[in-house]
Amino acid sequence: MVFVETNAINSSGKRVIFGLGVTNGMELTTGTASSGVAFGDMNGYDLTFVGMEDSPALVVADYTDEPFDNAAFTVTVS
């Protein structure tokens, strides 16, 4: 599952977050890293995920102060 925080602002003034691969998961197929020289050059990662879902991406519920601060799930790292 992949969460994507967009630059779009919703009616409550928070950024919109989508949940992708909720049912069937997502697969990382390609990825590259780049570091630019000029100010406008990209410094970061370009990742491509693919998935097969029955429905469009789900919009995650609004958060209070920080993304996922109202999440009804926990993350366990083992």
Residue tagged 């029955």 (tokens):
54
Higher pLDDT, 66 or 50: 50
What is the value of pTM for the model shown?
Answer: 0.74
pLDDT band per the 50, 70, 90 thresholds, residue 28: very high
pLDDT value at position 71? 76
pLDDT value at position 5? 93
In the chain, domain spans: 2-59
pLDDT band per the 50, 70, 90 thresholds, residue 45: very high
Look at residue 64 and give its three-state secondary structure. Answer: coil
What single letter denotes the amino acid at residue 40? G
Report CA 46 to chain centroid distance, whole Å.
Answer: 13
